[in-house]
Every structure is written in structure tokens, then in C-alpha cells.
Amino acid sequence: MAEWIKDMRLIEADGKALLRRRGLAVPHGRRCGPDEAIEVPPGGAVVKAQLLSGARAKRGLVQLASEAEVPAVAASVLDQMRQMGRQPNVLVEEKVAIEAEYYLAWRIDDVRQAPVMLFSIHGGVEIEDLAEGVHEFVWDPLRGLHPHHVVPFLVGSGADRRRVGVLARFAAELYRMFVAEDAELIEINPLAVTPDGQVMALDAKVMLDDSARFRHRDWSDTLSAKLARMSMTPLEWRAAEQGLTLIEMDGCVALFAAGAGFGMALVDLLSDAGLPPANFADASGGTKPNAFATMGDIIMERAARPDVKAVVCFQTMGAASLKDAVQGLLAAWDRSPVKKPLVVGFTVSRTAEREMTAAEARELFRARGHTVISELDELVPALRQIVGG
């Protein structure tokens, strides 16, 4: 189970556990759920909601509390999470004195095909508004990184010269963790500089590369993976178990498009046309030969609900066989007890046509009374005819 969660994002507590294991400084603290006793750190605490989305401080989900206040503050944050429909759990950490808040991150830059370090001396909750203060350091993934490699960059980015050594060691060790854990992103914001000259990660956002999952059997056991599972709808879960991606939305058009990029483009196109999609779907992760039929069943189930007025299936076929796709879709349609109007379109490569030509496929759908379109421009008019308006 849980082998399939894409974009594996870690909650802060799981991210900090990885940092701690590497000897990178994080505040002392403990995560606890509603029924667990809270250990109140001497001198008060920071109470932090543990969930898979960020910008918590602005939503009151990170709160400073004096020793006496900790139990009440923790109870109120837990309650807030419950009201948000989240699994209530908080990280209760020692308060750390802060001299400066920096921003430090490693991420994979898709365009440069290289790891990039991002650094700013203006860290903290307002960092999004200060994008121009963020400096980039591109590194060659084939070379080991040592602290001295980043010193000139840190100085050039305005880091306090007295702290550059400790910052450089932190940045280099963070890079080793980034590589060893197969991360796509590790973002430390804020990286606190304490009055005694230490640096400490007060927050951690870690995203792991899903394609490296086979090297990390333990990922599925993290609380982060459990929370990701819980935030799925039953139908999304069913798709995920098959290696497919489904995200349910509130619209009126059930959507089955090949490829995540093209699927997103269709989502935008339909939303702009006032025909909002009822889902986003991506079958490209499916490895089994009947992925089309499986996804077809899931889309038909989404389509069966009353708010959905039509089903769109638009496939761009490269190497996969068009015949498999067509038969899979028709089988799903036949199995579905509720049948909504179906609009079909596809663009295919020669390879995809090896068992069935595009002309044959179009004829098959037309003969069954479905709407067949040959260009994407025809999609919105065709849907308007069905949905009205």
C-alpha cells in the first residue's frame, strides 16, 4: 500500500527528523496528537500544526506560547485543524532565540538539469514578496560539494561574514541529504541564526522524488504518507492504487485526457469556456495493459454523479496502441450503469495506429452515436450543444 503517492511531500516533523539524523540542527520538540500528553519545554514553546500545506503562520497555525499557555494553545491549534477537516496533530518545540532569519533551499532545476541552491538573507514568512532578494547557486550534480565551494556565493549574497562558515557547512550537509534522500526540494525557511552564532532549521519543507521510491521502502510508513492518503477521496484513492492520478473537482464535464500536461491544458480550456471539469486525470503512470479500461471505469463513475453533464475523452497517442485505448474506453462505457453523452477526439502517431487506424476508431464511435471531433477547437462548441448555454 501507499506505494503510489505522487509528489511525496513531508510534513515538517518528518522533514526535521531527516535533518536531525544528518546532524543538522533543529529545535528540540515532539509531535503529538489530541490524546497524547504534551511535554511543555522550559521557557515556553512554539506550537505548529502539522499538515501538508504551507504558509501556516499567516493562518494562525504556528503560535508562540509561554510555558503556562502551551496546553491551551495546543488545544486551540488542534481544534482549528479539526475544523479544517485535517488530522489534528501539532509539533511542540522549544522556543529558539532568533538574531536573523535566512532562507535556504536546494531544488532540482528542470531547465538547467542541475541542483540549485537558493539563498536569501531575508527569510521568514514574507519571503514570497521578496523574490528579487533570492540568490541562486547552480551546482554540477556530478561533483561533490564541500563547504568552501559555497562561501563566495554566501558572502556575495550578503550573509553576515561572521556566520559564513557555519552557514556553508549547513548548506553542504543539506546538499548531501538532498542527494541521499532523492529529494526534489528541501526548503528551510527560516534558517535561524541564533545570538550565539549557531544556525538552526526552524522549518523544513521536503519533497521527495517519486521515481526514486524503490530506493526508499520506508517512505510509505511516514505520517506524511498517511496524511496524503487520508486527504484523498475514495475514487482518487482507487485511481492511485492502480498507479493512476485522479483529482476530483466540482465541475460538469468528466475528463479523460492522455498526459498530465495535455490534461491540465484541457482543464484550463474548459474552465475558461464556462464548462468546468469534474476531474483531472492522468493515466500515464499506469503500467498495466488495461490502464485505459481501469481509468475509463473511474471516469465513468465520476461521470455518473448528477452534476456531470458530459464525458470528454481526448487522447494524444504516441507509443500506446490506439486499439487498446478505444476498446478500453468502450468497455468502460458498456459497464457503466449511468451513460452520459460522450465526446471523443484523438490525435495519433503511426505507431499507435498499428492495430487500428484513427479513421476506423472514429467510425466505431460514430456508429455508436457518440460525438466525434477531429480538432480541439471543436470541443467547446460540441459540449455547448450537449450541455446547453
172 interacts with ligand GDP by CB under 6 A? no
Closer CB to ligand GDP, 9 or 213, in the complex: 9
Q: Does 203 bind Mn ion (CB under 5 A)?
A: yes
- Contacts of residues 53-56 at CB distance under 8 Å and 24 or more positions apart, as own/partner, are 54/205, 55/125
d(CA 48, CA 167): 25
Q: Is the dihedral of CA 257, 262, 268, 273 positive or negative?
A: negative
Grid coordinates standing for 166?
557555519
Q: Which is nearer to Mn ion, 101 or 324 (CB)?
A: 101
Contact between 236 and ligand GDP (CB under 6 A)?
Answer: no
Q: Which residues contact 266 (CB under 8 A, 6 or more apart)?
A: 255, 257, 277, 312, 314
List the x/- string, 311-330, binding to ligand GDP by CB under 6 A: --------------------
Instruction: Tell me which long-range contacts 333-336 makes (C-beta under 8 A, separation of at least 24).
Output: 333/296, 333/300, 335/297, 335/300, 336/297, 336/300, 336/301, 336/303, 336/304
From ligand GDP, Mn ion, none, interface partner of 235 (C-beta below 5 to 8 A by class): none
From the CB of 93, what's the least distance to ligand GDP, in Å? Answer: 6
CB atoms within 10 A of CB 221: 10
Q: Is residue 56 a contact residue for ligand GDP (CB under 6 A)?
A: yes
Considering only residues 170 to 189 of the shown chain, the ones binding Mn ion according to CB under 5 A are 189
Smallest distance from ligand GDP to CB 96, Å:
4
DSSP string of 11-72, one letter each residue: PHHHHHHHHHHTT-----EEEE-TTSPPPPPTT-EEEEE--S----GGGT-EEEE-TTTHHH
Identity of the amino acid at 6: K
Residue 29 contact, options Mn ion, ligand GDP, none, Cβ 5-8 Å cut-off depending on partner type? none
At its nearest, how many Å lie between Mn ion and the CB of residue 162?
A: 24
Distance of CA 307 to the CA centre of its chain: 27
Does 159 sit near ligand GDP (CB under 6 A)? no
> Residue 55: which of ligand GDP, Mn ion, none does it interact with, CB under 5 to 8 A by kind?
ligand GDP
The option from ligand GDP, Mn ion, none interacting with 181 (CB < 5 to 8 A, set by class) reads: none
Query: For the window 195-224, what string marks contact with ligand GDP as x by the rule CB under 6 A?
Result: -------xx---------------------
Which CB sits closer to ligand GDP, 56 or 302? 56
* φ and ψ of 264, to 5 deg: -65, -40
Q: Candidates 15, 41, 115, 190: give the one binding ligand GDP (CB under 6 A).
A: 190
DSSP 8-state assignment for residue 125 = T
Q: Which string of x and - marks every residue 4-43 that binds ligand GDP (by CB under 6 A)?
A: -----------------------x----------------
Q: Are 71 and 243 in contact (CB under 8 A)?
A: no
Q: How many residues bind ligand GDP (CB under 6 A)?
A: 19
The least CB distance from residue 145 to ligand GDP, in Å, is 25
- Nearest CA to 181 out of 22, 344, 347 is that of 22
Cell digits of residue 2: 501507499
What whole-number distance in Å separates Cα of residue 225 and Cα of residue 4? 10
Query: Residue 343 and residue 330: Cα distance in Å, rounded?
Result: 12
Binding to ligand GDP (CB under 6 A) within 78-137 occurs at 93, 95-96, 98, 101, 124-125
Q: Which does 56 bind (CB under 5 to 8 A by kind): Mn ion, ligand GDP, none?
A: ligand GDP
User: Closest separation between CB of residue 203 and Mn ion, Å?
Assistant: 3
The contact set with ligand GDP (CB under 6 A) reads: 27, 46, 48, 54-57, 62, 93, 95-96, 98, 101, 124-125, 189-190, 202-203
